[in-house]
C-alpha cells in the first residue's frame, strides 16, 4: 500500500476538512493537500527524473511542507530518507551518500551548511521554505500514486549511530501499514476532530505517526516554534483542542513541570504518547497527577517502528490493580501484529520473570539494513529481531525493560541493571535526573557509579543517597560513587549518552562533587 493512497482517499471523502496548520492558522484543507502532493510528485518525476525506488532525503526542520514533501515522494513511488535536522551537516551528508539519495528537500536553517558537504550522488537541494517549493506545487499533477507492494521500500531510516556509523533501516510499505493499523488497536483511536501536534522531530516518531491522522482525516499542526516549547503547547492546545503528540520522556517531564508551575491541567490535550527512552515510575506518576489520564507508552525501535509493545492509558492511570506499580514500570504488552519473547544468548525462550534479551517477530519488523547483510544477519535470526534490549515478561505478558545489553553492569559476577538503581534514586525529591554506569574495577570487574543532577534549590550528600539505596535495593547494587553534575549528556533525541559518561570516568579530574 502506497501511503499516498490514504491521502487521496481522505481528500475524496472529506475535501474541505482542515488538514495542515501552522500554529493556529489553517494552511490547507485535504483537497489542497492532495493536489499539492500530486503536483510535487509530477515535478519530481518530470523535472528531476525521480523514479520508483529512488531515494529522496528530507533534511528539514518541522513544517507543514515536510508532510507535503514526504507524500510527494511516496506519490512518485520513491523512498523517503528522513534526517534529523539537529544533525551536523557532515553527518547528514554521510547518510545521503550511503542512501545514494539524488535529491534532498531542505530548510534554509540547515540546507546552506549541507551544500559544503554534499556528496556526488546529490544532484539538487530543494528549499522547502523558498519560492522554488511553490513552483513544484504548480507543476502538472501526477494522475495517481505509483503502485507500491507490501515488500517494497518506503522509509529508509538511519539509526542514531551512538556506537559507530548509523545503519539504514529498511522499512517497507507493509511495515508501515502494520504499524498504522496497530495504532488503532493497541495505542489510541483517532477521529476527524482530532489533531496531531508535531513538537518532536518529524524525521522520527512524531512524523511516522502522521499516517493514522491522514487515514482518519484529522488535523496536522506544526507549532510556530517548529519544535518543542512547553508554554507554547499549553497555550495552543485549548485553541486547537483534541491534540495528540509524541514526546520523549524528557519532553514529558518538562511539559509536566511547566504545567504544574502555571497551574495547567493540559486542557486541549487528548493523548501524549511517550517513548524513546526510560520513563521512570516516579515521573509518570507525577505526570498523570498533573495532566490526567492522557498518557500511552509505546516501545519500539527503528527496526520495528513504534511497534513492539504498548501500555494503554488505562494501565498508565490505573491505581487499583494489585500490580499497578509494576505494570506502570513496564512498557506494556505485545502489540497485535507481533510476537515478543525473552531469550537467553542461545535463543532459548526463558521462563516468565527471567531477564534476557527481548526478541520480536511480525509484520512490523524491518526487512533488514540497507546494503549491510552482515548487520542484518546478526540482528535478524530465524525470523526474530534481536533488539539488544534486556527485559523480563511477567505472567500477564507485561514486559519490563531493564537496559540495553551493552549497558548492563557485571560486578563481582552479578548482573546489575542501571535502570533499577536509577528508579530508586529518583524516588528522592532532591534528585532531578540520574544515570548509572559501570566503571572498570581491578577486583570486581565493574563498579556501579551514579551521575546525579539535583533539583533546583535542593542539596543532598552521597551518604544520604547511599542510605536510601541500601534501604530499597540489594547492597551490592548500590553505587560505589556518586558524581554530582549540572546536566547529563544527551543526543539529539534526548537520550542520555552513557558512553560519554564512561569517558568522563576515565578523566575523573574533570568531575566535581
The secondary element (H helix, E strand) that includes residue 446 is strand 445-454
Mean pLDDT of 171-188: 97
The domain boundary residue, chosen from 172, 196, 231: 172
Please provide the DSSP assignment of 22-77 as one string.
ETTEEEEEHHHHHHHHHHHHHHHHHTT---TT-EEEEE--S-HHHHHHHHHHHHTT
pLDDT of residue 512: 47
As a whole number, the mean pLDDT across the chain is 93
Average pLDDT over residues 44-54: 95
Query: Is the pLDDT confidence value at 161 over 70?
Result: no
Assigned domain for 69 exists: yes
Q: What's the confidence (pLDDT) of residue 513?
A: 42
CA 132 centroid distance within chain: 31
Q: How confident is the model at residue 280 (pLDDT cuts 50, 70, 90)?
A: confident
Grid coordinates in use for 379? 540482528
Percent pLDDT > 90 in the chain is 81
Crossing angle between the packed helical segments 3-13 and 30-46, to the nearest 10 degrees: 140
The three cell numbers locating residue 400: 519490563
pLDDT attached to residue 502: 87
Identify whether 32 is part of a domain. Answer: yes
Domain's final residue, options 129, 148, 172: 172
Please write down the HEC assignment for all residues of 354-371: CCEEEEEEECCCCCEECC
Check whether 292 has a pLDDT greater than 50: yes
Query: What does R_g of the chain's alpha carbons equal in angstroms?
Result: 23
Q: How far apart are CA 246 and CA 206, in angstroms?
A: 5
- Say if residue 168's pLDDT is above 90: yes
- Digit-coded pLDDT (tens) for 53-103: 999 999 999 999 999 999 999 999 999 999 999 888 888 999 999 999 999
Burial of 13 from C-beta contacts in 10 A (0-12 / 13-18 / 19+)? exposed
Over the stretch 197-209, which tens digit does the pLDDT of each residue have?
999 999 998 999 9
User: Would you say residue 50 lies in a domain?
Assistant: yes
Q: What integer pLDDT is reported at residue 418 of this predicted model? A: 86
Centroid of chain to Cα 485:
26
CATH of residue 84's domain is 3.40.50.12780
Query: What's the pLDDT score for residue 285?
Result: 96
Give the separation between CA 362 and CA 336, rounded to whole angstroms. 9
Nearest of 401, 168, 213 to residue 300 by alpha carbon: 401
Q: Higher model confidence: residue 87 or residue 165?
A: 87
CATH number at residue 469: 3.30.300.30
Would you say residue 147 lies in a domain?
A: yes
Residue 411's pLDDT is 82
Where is average pLDDT lowest: 68-82, 364-378, 407-421, 469-483?
Answer: 407-421
Name the domain count of the chain: 2
Q: Which domain holds residue 470?
A: 408-510
Pair 219, 21: CB distance under 8 Å: yes
Higher confidence at residue 259 or residue 161? Answer: 259
| Lowest mean per-residue pLDDT among 72-76, 277-281, 362-366 | 277-281
Count of positions (residues) in the chain: 513
Residue percentage of the chain with pLDDT more than 70: 96
Considering 157, 172, 187, which residue would you say is the last residue of a domain?
172
What pLDDT does residue 162 have? 44
- pLDDT at 259 > cutoff 60: yes
C-alpha cell at 137: 506545487
Q: What is the mean pLDDT of residues 314-330?
A: 95
pLDDT of residue 368: 97
Report how far apart the first and last C-alpha atoms of the chain are (Å, whole number).
Answer: 56
375 in a structural domain: no
pLDDT at 493: 65
Identify the weakest region by mean pLDDT among 119-133, 287-301, 434-448.
434-448
Does residue 305 lie in a domain region? no
457 phi/psi in degrees, rounded to 5: 80, 0
**Which range is least confidently modeled, 106-120, 155-169, 240-254, 471-485?**
155-169
Is residue 204 domain-resident? no
Would you say residue 72 lies in a domain? yes
Amino acid at each position: 500500500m502506497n501511503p499516498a493512497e490514504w491521502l487521496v482517499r481522505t481528500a475524496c471523502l472529506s475535501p474541505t476538512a482542515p488538514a495542515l496548520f501552522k500554529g493556529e492558522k489553517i494552511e490547507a484543507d485535504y483537497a489542497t493537500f492532495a493536489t499539492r502532493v500530486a503536483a510535487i510528485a509530477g515535478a519530481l518525476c518530470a523535472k528531476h527524473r525521480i523514479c520508483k525506488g529512488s531515494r529522496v532525503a528530507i533534511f528539514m526542520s518541522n513544517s507543514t511542507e515536510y508532510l507535503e514533501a514526504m507524500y510527494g515522494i511516496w506519490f512518485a513511488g520513491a523512498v523517503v530518507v528522513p534526517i534529523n535536522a539537529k544533525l551536523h551537516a557532515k553527518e547528514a551528508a554521510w547518510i545521503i551518500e550511503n542512501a545514494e539519495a539524488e535529491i534532498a528537500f531542505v530548510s534554509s536553517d540547515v540546507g546552506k551548511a549541507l551544500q559544503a558537504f554534499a556528496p556526488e550522488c546529490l544532484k539538487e537541494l530543494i528549499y522547502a521554505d523558498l519560492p522554488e517549493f511553490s513552483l513544484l506545487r504548480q507543476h502538472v499533477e501526477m494522475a495517481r500514486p505509483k503502485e507500491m507492494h507490501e515488500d517494497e521500500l518506503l522509509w529508509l531510516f538511519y539509526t542514531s549511530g551512538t556506537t559507530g556509523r548509523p545503519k539504514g533501516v529498511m522499512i517497507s510499505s507493509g511495515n508501515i501499514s502494520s504499524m498504522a493499523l496497530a495504532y488503532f488497536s493497541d495505542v489510541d483511536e483517532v477521529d476527524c476532530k482530532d489533531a496531531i501536534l508535531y513538537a518532536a522531530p518529524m524525521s522520527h516518531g512524531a512524523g511516522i505517526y502522521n499516517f493514522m491522522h491522514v487515514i482518519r482525516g484529522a488535523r496536522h499542526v506544526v507549532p510556530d516554534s517548529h519544535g518543542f516549547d512547553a508554554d507554547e503547547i499549553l497555550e495552543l492546545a485549548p485553541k486547537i483542542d483534541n491534540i495528540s503528540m509524541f514526546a520523549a520522556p524528557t519532553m514529558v517531564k518538562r511539559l509536566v513541570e511547566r504545567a504544574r508551575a502555571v497551574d495547567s491541567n493540559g486542557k486541549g490535550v487528548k493523548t501524549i504518547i511517550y517513548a524513546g527512552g526510560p520513563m521512570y515510575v516516579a515521573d509518570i506518576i507525577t505526570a498523570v497527577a498533573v495532566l490526567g489520564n492522557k498518557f500511552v507508552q509505546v516501545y519500539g525501535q527503528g527496526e520495528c517502528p513504534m511497534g513492539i509493545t504498548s501500555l494503554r492509558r488505562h494501565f498508565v492511570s490505573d491505581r487499583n490493580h494489585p500490580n499497578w506499580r509494576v505494570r506502570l514500570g513496564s512498557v506494556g504488552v505485545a502489540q497485535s501484529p507481533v510476537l515478543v519473547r525473552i531469550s537467553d544468548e542461545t535463543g532459548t525462550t526463558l521462563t516468565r520473570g527471567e531477564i534476557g534479551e527481548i526478541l520480536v517477530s511480525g509484520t512490523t519488523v524491518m526487512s533488514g539494513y540497507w546494503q549491510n547483510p552482515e548487520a542484518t544477519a546478526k540482528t535478524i535470526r530465524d525470523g526474530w529481531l534481536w533488539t539488544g534490549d534486556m527485559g523480563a515478561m511477567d505472567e500477564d505478558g507485561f514486559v519490563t525493560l531493564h537496559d540495553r545489553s551493552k549497558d548492563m553492569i557485571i560486578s563481582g559476577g552479578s548482573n546489575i541493571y542501571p535502570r533499577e538503581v536509577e528508579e530508586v534514586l529518583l524516588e528522592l525529591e532532591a534528585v532531578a535526573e540520574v544515570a548509572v554506569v559501570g566503571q572498570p574495577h581491578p577486583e570486581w570487574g565493574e563498579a556501579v557509579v551514579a551521575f546525579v543532577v539535583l533539583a533546583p534549590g535542593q542539596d543532598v550528600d552521597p551518604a544520604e543517597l547511599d542510605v536510601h539505596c541500601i534501604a530499597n535495593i540489594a547492597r551490592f547494587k548500590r553505587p560505589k560513587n556518586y558524581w554530582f553534575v549540572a546536566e547529563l549528556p544527551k543526543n539529539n533525541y534526548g537520550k542520555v549518552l552513557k558512553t560519554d559518561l564512561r569517558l568522563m570516568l576515565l578523566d575523573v579530574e574533570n568531575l566535581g562533587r
